[in-house]
Amino acid sequence: FAVTTFGESHGPAIGCVVDGCPPGLPLAAEDFRADLDRRATGRSRHTSQRRETDEVEILSGVYEGRTTGTPIALLIRNTDARSKDYSAIAGQFRPGHADYTYWQKYGIRDPRGGGRSSARETTMRVAAGVIAKRWLAERHGVRVRGYLSQLGELRPQGVDLDVVEGNPFFWPCEAQVPQLETYMDALRKSGDSVGARVDVVADGLPPGWGEPIYGKLDGELAAALMSINAVKGVEIGDGFASVTQKGSEHRDLMGAAGFESNHAGGILGGISTGQPLHCSVAFKPTSSLRLPADTLDIHGNAVEVITTGRHDPCVGIRATPICEAMVALVLMDQALRHRAQCGDVGEITPRVPGGKPDPKR
Ligand code: EPS
């Protein structure tokens, strides 16, 4: 099971190919709507005001409303690019942006909107993730949900996943939403940007998904999440907090009812334990700022750069569905690999104590 995307922010279209999806999964263009809307720009004043329709065209791999097992190609046409926003900085490097490394690597780049390095590319990750989420839910009862777990220095005062969809930040604590609004309004006015953290939890996983050495479940999740633009860190379970923990504190004790804690984040030795999977992802602050900064142009001249146009003061705000999608894609791949080697779930995998009986196993 593999996914690739193509397209640039200001090109005619963006798209993806999802290869290896099992046949028979119901799939229609409207199934992509909800998650694409969750990720889209222009849904609140706290994100970029670019207005894209994000209408998915299914080009292949679906017949009479069901996947056929052949590659699924999805296309979304770009309808609201404003390339003139970039004419002033086309030959300059925005500090902190991939402008510089793309230029050094290729010696040529599409500077309109960051081209391939634009957050626009994440649209197709979310679209591909819709397929994986559906397959995981229908086939295994797995649910993948995320939330914004930090905005700058602000942290949730409680986590209630049921309130996440009710605010423009995917924030899990309703009482703090006005504080986030005020924070973002001041940040936007200042012309600066800020980083954020997104957590993703997947429930309903059986034990046994993942590989013991190469292709570890946590390794694949880290690679997939790190491949989202602007990501600077990934943690599984207690992550970097494990550094100061004692073994007696970190280990998850097991009793008659199963595991008593989940410091491991649902993975031991690269393989799922059957507990909820927990990942946390760090996003850097957006580098396209209207605050002037010293930089170089492509000829090596010192220049001052100011980025105008429609930018997100915090890319992390729209990143929850993107992180969910990447987790779902990795889980679907690992589930299919596990089935290929070990048979269907439960055929060989023994039930852990306290594991929920599942008629599909
Ligand atoms: C982005 C800049 C803005 C955002 C864009 C990401 O677009 P433009 O290329 O028009 O300046 O609107 O995000 C999207 C278009 C999207 O769909 O996520 C950037 O600098 O990354």
Give, as one character, the DSSP assignment of residue 44. S
**Structure-block tokens of residue 15:** 């798209």
Q: What percent of the chain has pLDDT over 90?
A: 90
The letter for the amino acid at 257 is A
- Ligand 1 site, residue 229, Cβ cutoff 6 A: no
pTM for this prediction: 0.95
pLDDT tens across 95-111, in order?
A: 999 999 999 999 998 88
Distance 159 CA to ligand 1 centre (A): 30
Give yes or no for residue 134 having a pLDDT over 90. yes
- In this prediction, residue 223 carries a pLDDT of 98
Give yes or no for residue 356 having a pLDDT over 80. no
pLDDT tens across 137-188, in order?
A: 999 999 999 999 999 999 999 999 999 999 999 999 999 999 999 999 999 9
- Ligand 1 site, residue 121, Cβ cutoff 6 A: no
Q: Would you kindly state where each structural domain of the chain is located, as residue ranges?
A: 86-342
Asked if 5 contacts 122 with a C-beta cutoff of 8 angstroms, the reply is no
pLDDT tens across 216-248, in order?
A: 999 999 999 999 999 999 999 999 999 999 999
Give yes or no for residue 316 having a pLDDT over 70. yes
Q: Which residue has the higher pLDDT, 168 or 360?
A: 168
CATH H-level, domain 86-342: superfamily: Chorismate synthase AroC (3.60.150.10)
Q: How many helices (H) and strands (E) does the chain have?
A: 7, 16
ipTM of the complex: 0.92
Binding residues for NADP(+): 39, 45
- Ligand 1 site, residue 11, Cβ cutoff 6 A: no
Overall average pLDDT of the 111-130 stretch: 94
- In this prediction, residue 361 carries a pLDDT of 39
- For residue 122, the ligand 1 atom closest to its alpha carbon is 18
Asked if 146 contacts 126 with a C-beta cutoff of 8 angstroms, the reply is no
- In this prediction, residue 2 carries a pLDDT of 96
Q: Is the dihedral of CA 242, 247, 249, 250 positive or negative?
A: positive
- For residue 85, the ligand 1 atom closest to its alpha carbon is 11
Overall average pLDDT of the 86-101 stretch: 94
Distance 216 CA to ligand 1 centre (A): 33
- In this prediction, residue 347 carries a pLDDT of 64
